[in-house]
């Protein structure tokens, strides 16, 4: 698409489908910001982007989406998740063309575009009105924002050696099995907050039936239907992973391996941050990742690792992480496991 009016129409169509105008607001002092973010309070990938925007003091239009079907939790009537609506998915498909990736259809437990492919039905999504572009993956959005706006801090250093070290850590977090842990029913040690266990018991089926309805309602749009069909395949694979005891044990072991690796890396750094004396995107993403593990009851993975424990304390306290993740106004549902984070 090259036509400016078409671009604006595509963005407007995604906006028009959102249920509640109160969940759209401007962050910062500008009346017509360059950036527009479709995101969700509890989404880890959205948390990464919000923290970058906050760290760099970038104004933006914020659309907070409800990414779980309502079923009487968010509203009286059934409402399909807002990230499945056709206008939003078309906007993602437009942004996704730049990735040159197949749609994700399997599920290994992580949601990295690099290893899993492109999911056309998720948040976050960034619109850059100056470049008239749409960026659809949190790692790419963080990079895009860091390059586009100088701001008070450069989160991805220019020096090629340091940059490579930072991006290696970013990739570890990007490929961590957070969805596998959030959605997964561990057979012996399911520590997730009760609210989450309840939501996850039938979430895959609810997602698939919502999407099936959108396929039927948009039968004339084959590209859209193909995107939806891929999402259904991915969610079916996700359900198989969530309820498979052996694979859940493997996902947990993989997470423990990641924490063990972090501990080694912390032993090697000149500190106080993961790649030396400067705070970078790597520290921000580790803060968000460790807090998610913590919230899921998995701070046990570093209970005997003092370095990780102290590092977690440091990265949680960074104002961008504290305000955009831990204390965000529409927060992750409460967890008994984070009572020690204050």
Q: List residues near ligand GSH by CB under 6 A.
A: 43-45, 67, 81, 83, 111-113, 119, 121-124, 137-139, 207
Residue 54: is the preceding peptide bond cis (ω within 30°)?
no
Give yes or no for a contact between 298 and 181, defined as CB atoms under 8 angstroms apart: yes
CB of 153 to ligand GSH, least distance (A): 21
Give yes or no for a contact between 232 and 168, defined as CB atoms under 8 angstroms apart: no
CB of 84 to ligand GSH, least distance (A): 7
CB of 305 to ligand GSH, least distance (A): 26
Q: How many CB atoms lie within 10 A of CB 100?
A: 7
- In terms of CB distance, is 100 or 152 closer to ligand GSH? 100
- In terms of CB distance, is 41 or 263 closer to ligand GSH? 41
- In terms of CB distance, is 110 or 338 closer to ligand GSH? 110
- In terms of CB distance, is 121 or 241 closer to ligand GSH? 121
Nearest to 17 by CA among 89, 92, 109, 71: 89
Distance CA 301, CA 283 (A): 18
CB of 2 to ligand GSH, least distance (A): 26
- In terms of CB distance, is 116 or 283 closer to ligand GSH? 116
Max CA pair span of the chain:
58
Give yes or no for a contact between 93 and 223, defined as CB atoms under 8 angstroms apart: yes
- In terms of CB distance, is 45 or 301 closer to ligand GSH? 45
Angle at 124 between CA 40 and CA 153, to 5 degrees: 100
CB of 213 to ligand GSH, least distance (A): 14
Nearest to 302 by CA among 262, 274, 273: 262
Cβ-proximal residues to 165 (8 Å cutoff; 6+ apart), any chain: 275, 282
CB of 118 to ligand GSH, least distance (A): 8
């Amino acid at each position: 698409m090259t036509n400016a009016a078409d671009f604006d129409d595509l963005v407007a169509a995604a906006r028009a489908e959102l249920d509640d105008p109160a969940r759209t607001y401007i962050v910062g002092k500008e009346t017509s910001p360059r950036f527009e973010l479709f995101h969700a309070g509890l989404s880890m990938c959205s948390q990464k982007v919000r923290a970058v925007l906050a760290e760099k003091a970038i104004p933006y239009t914020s659309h907070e989406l409800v990414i779980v079907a309502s079923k009487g939790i968010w509203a009286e009537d059934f409402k399909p998740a807002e990230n499945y609506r056709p206008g939003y998915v078309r906007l993602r498909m437009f942004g996704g063309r730049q990735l040159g990736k197949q749609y994700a259809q399997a599920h290994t437990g992580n949601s990295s575009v690099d290893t899993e492919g492109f999911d056309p039905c998720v948040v976050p999504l960034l619109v850059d009105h100056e470049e008239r572009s749409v960026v659809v993956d949190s790692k790419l959005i963080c990079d895009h924002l860091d390059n586009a706006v100088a701001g008070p801090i450069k989160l991805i250093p220019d020096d090629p050696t340091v940059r490579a070290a930072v991006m290696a850590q970013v990739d570890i977090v990007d490929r961590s099995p957070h969805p596998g842990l959030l959605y997964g029913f561990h057979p012996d040690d399911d520590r997730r907050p009760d609210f989450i266990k309840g939501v996850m018991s039938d979430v895959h089926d609810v997602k698939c039936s919502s999407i099936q309805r959108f396929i039927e309602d948009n039968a004339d749009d084959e590209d859209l239907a193909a995107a939806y069909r891929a999402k259904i395949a991915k969610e079916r694979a996700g359900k198989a992973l969530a309820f498979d005891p052996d694979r859940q044990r493997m996902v947990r072991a993989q997470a423990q391996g990641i924490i063990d690796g972090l501990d080694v890396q912390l032993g090697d750094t000149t500190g106080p941050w993961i790649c030396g004396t400067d705070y970078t995107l790597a520290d921000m993403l580790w803060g968000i990742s460790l807090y998610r593990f913590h919230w899921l009851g998995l701070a046990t993975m570093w209970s005997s690792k003092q370095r990780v424990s102290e590092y977690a304390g440091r990265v949680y306290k960074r104002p961008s992480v504290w305000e955009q993740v831990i204390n965000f106004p529409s927060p992750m549902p409460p967890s008994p496991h984070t009572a020690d984070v204050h």
